[in-house]
Structure 1
Amino acid sequence: MNRHVADLSVLASERESFGLAVQESLAHGVPAVVRRGTGAEEALGVGAAGAAVDLDGGADTLAGALAAWLEDPELAARWRKAALLRRWTLPRWTATAQTVLTLIRGRGPRYWLVPAPMCGPPRRKSTPWPAP
């Protein structure tokens, strides 16, 4: 039995490199509210399957997005419909695995990102990938 168990996914992380949780929500037709400027925003996509909110000035914008979701059934229905449509445009695991394999085999970028400390952005290191 496949039944709908969530209405909305909220991912307000300050740092989110990719947004896999958002993609998983969308794959199940569940819209999301995410923090603007993170990888979760990219995962959300452009199909209006939720909202990306600016939280740098405080939580008021998140509260506003949640209030809009709760108080406007038409908005909630549009987000849900967009999430159901977005699931068909998400990258498939085979495509992701092929991209990773290409990078490992050295046919991708010749640099890698060093994990960032909690106080700053990722640092680019010009060390090439190891030879396969």
Structure 2
Amino acid sequence: MRRFTTALAGAALAGLALTTVAPLATATTAGPAPAAVVAQGGGLSVDHTVVHPGEQVRIHIDHGPEALSWISSGSFVRDSEHPMGADEGVAHVVSDVDGSADAIATIGDVAPGQYLVHARVGGGSVPGVTITVQ
């Protein structure tokens, strides 16, 4: 069962990555990103898009009446098990009131590059925001 869950999580993450390619390409041609970036149509935002290992990222998500399942990224510290078995760290939700949640995640000791911060709300995935680890 674990293999099926892992495969399902991988397929979901791969599909999410493919759905965010076009918006990211257009965002980079418009100039530098602002300090806080909101995913198009997703209600997910981060307070910093350029981070370093050991720094914390504050995340906000407006998820409406649907339940927030998780917020994760390959750049986050892996200090707890991912609910879907993905090889990613999960943000710690500090507040979730009236369809609006705030979370904090610490950037792990990962290779420099771009990483997707994404979430699962209700039965679907929320479009993510890309952060750059330097």
TM bucket (normalised to shorter chain) is: under 0.3
Q: Write 1 or 2 for the structure with the bigger share of helix.
A: 1
Q: How high is the TM-score relative to the length of structure 2?
A: 0.23
Structure 1 or 2, whichever has the larger Rg, is 1
Q: How high is the TM-score relative to the length of structure 1?
A: 0.24
Which gives a bigger RCO, structure 1 or 2 (Cα 8 Å, sep 6+)?
2
